[in-house]
Structure 1
Amino acid sequence: MPCHPARARELLGSGRAVVARRAPFTIRLKDRSRAGSAVPGVQLRLDPGSRATGIAITDELPRIVAPEGRGALVRRGLIGIELRHRGGQIHTGMMRRAGYRRRRRSANLRYRAPRRDNRSRPDGWLPPALRHRIDSTTSLVTRLCRYAPVLEIHVEQVAFDTTAITAAAMASGPRDPEPTHAGSDIREFLLAAWKRSCAYCGATGVRLNVEHVIPRSRGGSNRVTNLVLACIPCNQAKGVTCIEEFLVDRPARLESVKNQLRKPLHDVAAMNTTRLLLVKALATRGVPVHTWSGGRTAWNRQVMRLPKSHTLDALATGGFPRLLRPRGKIHHGYSTGDLVAALVPRESGPASGSGASRSGPVVSTASQR
C-alpha cells in the first residue's frame, strides 16, 4: 500500500523494508505479510489514446472538507504515468518489410503469380500497430497490479461516431445556441487536431471558428477533410476564396495545412478499433473494470481547472469527488517524485588505507532525499 515518503525512509532505515523496484519506487516489508495487514487498496485509472495512454493510481478516503465542515470523498493521485505508443514506428517498419518482399519477388521470382489476399485470420486479429497499443497497456497494468493492491480499474471509453463527424460537422457550429452532441464532438476533435490554434496564422488563445477549406459555394463538403479552425480575422479575410488563393504568399503554411488534412481520421479509427478489445483484455486480470465516457472526464477536468494532459485525464476518469492536490516540494530544481541518477566520486582518505579514488552511480528519488 502506498505510504508517505517519510514513512518509507523510516522503514528502510530501520531495516524493516527493502527496495523492490526503482521506477516506480517500491519497497517491500520483511516482517509481515499481506494476510496479516489491513490494506484498504487503490484504484487504477486509464485514459487510452491513439499515441499515448495516461495511467494514474489513486486512493479515495472520506475526509472533512473545510470550510464547509462536512464530509466528502477525497481522491488523491499517487502515481502518474504517460505511456507513449510506437504504433507509427511499427507501421513504418511493416511497410518497409512489405517493400523488401515485393522487390525480392519481382527481382528473383518473376514467374510467380502475386499471392491473393485469401488467408484467413483468427477472431480478434488486429494489425501489429494496433495490437501494440493493447499489449503495452495491459502489460504495464499487470506490473502495476503487482506493485500496488489494485481493487478497481476505471477506463475512459470513447466512441467517435465517424458518420456524425462527416455528415453533421456544421450542424452545431459556433453560431448555434444549442449545440448537439455530434457537433460538440467534431469541435473537440478539431481543437485537439489543430492544438487549439488557427490553421492559417497559428494564433492561440483567441476565439476560433470552424472553417471550410473549400467553400461551400465552390462545392466544398462538411467532411472533416474539409474543416479546419480559423480565428475571426482569418475567417473573414478568407471568405469564399480557396486555400490556394488565400495562402499564395505563404507556401510553407499551405503545405502544412494540406499535409494535416490528408489523414485526419487515423487516430479516430485506431481508438474505435481498440476501445472494446482493451476493456476485454483488462477484464481478464481478475479486477473489476468500470468504463466511463469522455464527456465525464472533460467535465471533471474543467471543474477542477486542470490542464489538458493524459495523466490528468486519467486522474479525472470516473465519478469525481473532491481532488486533493499535494504540495510539491522543489529543492535546487528537483521536485518531489523525480528520479535522479547521480555519479558521486569518492576519494579515499588516510583512514581507508587505499590511495585509489572510486566513483559509482547512485540512483535515488527526490522524495527520499
Structure 2
Amino acid sequence: MSKVFVIDTEKRPLDPIHSAQARQLLRNGKAAVYRRFPFTIILKKSHSDLSVTPLRLKLDPGAKTTGIILVNDTTGEVIFAAELKHRGFAIRDALTYRRQLRSSRRSRKTRYRKPRFLNRIRPKGWLAPSLQSRVENIKTWVNKLRKIAQIEAISQELVRFDMQLMRNPDIQGKEYQQGTLTGYEIREYLLEKWSRQCAYCDAKDVPLQIEHIHPRAKGGSNSITNLTLSCEKCNTKKEIKDIKEFLKKDKTRLAKILAQTKKTLTDAAAVNTTRFALLEALKATGLTIETGSGGLTKFNRSQQNLEKTHWLDAACVGKSTPKLIIKGVKPLLIIANGHGTRQLCRTDKYGFPNRHCSRAKFHFGFQTGDIVKAVVKTGKKVGEYIGRIATRATGSFNISTKNGLVQGISHKYCSVIHKKDGYSYTQ
C-alpha cells in the first residue's frame, strides 16, 4: 500500500514509512499529523542519524488527467501514486462566457466600442490560460512532494506520439525504437484516434490490425493519415478494395471514416502544446530530468502486464525502473477546483447583477473550502461532522458531508483538518 510521508522537526523529508508504523508513532505521541493530503506526519523529536533514500518522481501529463508516482529506483517499489484531474476546459468555458458577456454589454446600452484585444503584447512562451493551468497544476504538485519526500530525479512523458520516429525509425540515439518496440508509436496513435475499435464494424476487445484505407496495391501510402484499425474479419473481407467500393452500401460509415481521417486529436494537441513548457519548468528545479515517449510507456506497461491507468502509465515512463512493485498501492484522486472567483457581483445568465459577494475571504479564521471537523454536543444538531465548509460573516457555517449538507453549524464547534488549497481529494 502507499506509504506515509514523514518529516523531522526541521521539516526535512525522511523515508516514507508503512501506515501501521505511522499509527504507532501517533498513538505513542512521538509524531503528529502535519498534512492530510497526502498524509504526512511530523516527528516531535529530532533524529539526525537517519539516512534518507532518494526517490524518482514520474509524470504522465495528460490533457484532462495527469498520472503522478514516486518510486524507489533501487527496489522498484512505488511509494506514492496519484491522478491529478485538470480544469483546463472549465477555464476555457469561463473565458468564453466572460467574453460573450462583455461583447453584449458593449453593444447593448452604450455606443459601440471595438473589442480591445490586439493591443496587448504576449510574452515569449505565452500559453492560453486553459493550457497554462495544466503546467501550473503539475508544478504545484512537484513542489508539494519535494517538501515531504527526498526527490532527486524526474521522469516525464515528453511526447505522446513521436512523429519524427514514426517517419524515420532509424534515428540515431533512439535505440529503443528498434526491435521489439518497432511500430508501438504508430499503433498507440491509431488506438487513440480510432477509439480502440474496428473502423468498419465497431468491434471492441478483439485483436486489431493496422489497415490501409486506400490500399497500397492501388497507390496508397504508409502515411499515418491513410491508416486505420480493423478486426481480422473486416480486413480479410476488404482485401485490396478501395474504401469507397468496400462501403458503397454504407454511405454513413464511409463519411464518418473519411471525416475521422482528417480529424485532429484535441487532447493530444493540448499535451503537445504544453509539453516543452512543462519540461522547462521541471528543468528549473535543478533535478535530473529523464524523458520518454508514449510508445515507450506502452511498451514498458505491456512488458509488465499492467493495466492502462494514468498512474500506471506514469510508473512506466522512460527507461528507468524496469521492474515495478505496485502491490496494494491505491492512487490518491486529486481534482483541481481552483480558488473560486474574484467577482464581487454575481450575474444571471443574461449578465445582469443579481447578488453580492463579501469582500472578506476569512471569517473567524476559516475560509470557504476548508475541510473541518465539527463536534456539536448540544442543541438540535448534536453529532460529529466532517466536510468542506461554506463560511458566513455571522459565524454560522454550512458543512458538506458525505451524507449531505448540514446547515447552521457555529464556528465555535469547528476545527480545521485541511486548509483550502484549490484541490479536492478522494482516496
Asked if Structure 1 and Structure 2 have the same fold, meaning a TM-score greater than 0.5 normalized by the shorter chain, the answer is yes
- The aligned counterpart of 1:59 is 72
Counterpart residue identity of residue 383, structure 2 = S
Equivalent-residue separation in structure 2 for 1:110 and 1:236 (angstroms): 67
- The aligned counterpart of 1:124 is 125
Residue 6 in structure 1 maps to residue 30 in structure 2: no
* Residue 244 of structure 1, CA deviation: 7.3
Contact 1:209 1:230 in 2 (8 A): yes
Closer/same/farther in 2, CA of residues 111 and 9 from structure 1, 3 Å limit? closer
Contact 1:76 1:323 in 2 (8 A): yes
Contact 2:214 2:226 in 1 (8 A): yes
Gaps of 5+ in 2: 1-14, 169-177, 334-374, 388-416, 418-427
Contact 1:56 1:311 in 2 (8 A): yes
After superposition, residues 202-213 of structure 1 pair within 5 angstroms as 202-211=202-211
After superposition, residues 74-223 of structure 1 pair within 5 angstroms as 74-107=75-108, 111-113=112-114, 117=118, 119-158=120-159, 160=161, 184-211=184-211
* Residue 16 of structure 1, CA deviation: 0.4
Alignment equivalent of 2:55, drawn from 42, 60, 71: 42
SS at match of 2:159: coil
- The aligned counterpart of 1:247 is 250
Give deviations 1:92-112, integer Å, cap 9, x for gaps. 333333333344445456654
Residue 359 in structure 1 maps to residue 383 in structure 2: yes
Counterpart residue identity of residue 21, structure 1 = R
SS at match of 2:82: strand
* Residue 182 of structure 1, CA deviation: 9.2
Counterpart residue identity of residue 158, structure 2 = Q
Give deviations 1:296-331, integer Å, cap 9, x for gaps. 4333222211122221121122422432343x3xxx
Contact 1:217 1:240 in 2 (8 A): no
SS at match of 2:124: coil
Closer/same/farther in 2, CA of residues 116 and 133 from structure 1, 3 Å limit? closer
Structure 1 vs Structure 2 CA RMSD: 4.2
Gaps of 5+ in 1: 62-73, 169-177, 329-334, 340-345, 349-353, 365-369
After superposition, residues 176-325 of structure 1 pair within 5 angstroms as 184-211=184-211, 227-235=227-235, 237=237, 239-242=241-244, 245-248=248-251, 263-317=263-317, 318-325=319-326
Closer/same/farther in 2, CA of residues 222 and 89 from structure 1, 3 Å limit? farther
Equivalent-residue separation in structure 1 for 2:379 and 2:113 (angstroms): 73
SS at match of 1:119: coil
Contact 2:26 2:32 in 1 (8 A): yes
- Across the two proteins, how many residue pairs are aligned to each other? 322
SS at match of 2:384: strand
Counterpart residue identity of residue 100, structure 1 = L
Closer/same/farther in 2, CA of residues 205 and 14 from structure 1, 3 Å limit? same
* Residue 361 of structure 1, CA deviation: 4.3
